Amino acid sequence: MLVGGGDWDYRAFRWFAERAGHGHIVVLRASGEGEAGEEIFNQVGGVASVQTLVFRSRVAASDARVLDILARADGIFIAGGDQANYVRFWKDTPVARALDAHVRKGRPIGGTSAGLAILGGTAYGAMDGGSIDSQEALADPAGPAVTLVTGFLHMPRLAHVVTDTHFARRDRLGRLFAFVAKARQKDPKAVGLGVDEGAALCVEADGTAQLLSPPGGHGWLVQPTTRPTLQPGQPLDWAGVRVTGIGPDSVLDLDRLAVTAPAFEGIARVERGVLRDAPGPR
């Protein structure tokens, strides 16, 4: 379940609870306390129990008790916060391997905001302590501020996907273009997938996904049609990138990277770091 951040659509979390067999949910976070778990149990409902694990350092990622809790989880949900902490605390640890194993067993995993940002095969780690905006990212996509992380988590249908969150509200289409352009230096198949605040893409076992969202929310599939031109210290140039909107009547096929009944679609371009002709909801 890919949640774009902000307020939750409880329909999506009830879908998640059903896919978890209405069983035991484990919420992971690296800041805050147990409020997300309390909301799932008390407001969403439909689950047997919810347990929250808050990581304060990398040490707990090797704790046998933590690994046992993850092994017994029917569903795992990664809360928001600072994705850099997730990378620092979990990458190349038993927790990361436990999350991969959970998915291999066919059990659901979800994330919101920072928790979604780390689910893609290439993730924006925000490792410099900031959160780059579209203008900055397009001005130097090959530069050090675009801190992409690979080899962290291994979600099979997201292996070539860069995810982004809080999408339309924070005007992040441009920065997702920059992320995908840089990701393609190592992964020629890289595409982008953005999710609006309040929206959730609910991915079934067969790789198809539908959007649950308040009115106006969308998913955004970003697929290059040409090769980007980028050099360190230089703005992005890109002649063609297809942008497809995923609405409540759409179906996203993650295996084929195709959208049935798209909410909108078109070809955008970037000239000297300026995004042009970007499609969007009307």
Annotated catalytic residues are 113, 166, 197
Q: Are 195 and 3 in contact (CB under 8 A)?
A: yes
Give the full edge-to-edge strand order of the sheet including 264-271: 148-150, 122-124, 161-164, 191-195, 219-224, 238-246, 264-271, 274-276
Q: How far apart are CA 233 and CA 197, in angstroms?
A: 31
Nearest to 6 by CA among 158, 281, 216, 262: 216
CA–CA distance, 32 with 54 (Å, rounded to integer): 7
Coil, strand, or helix at residue 31? coil
Handedness of CA 170, 174, 175, 177 (dihedral sign): positive
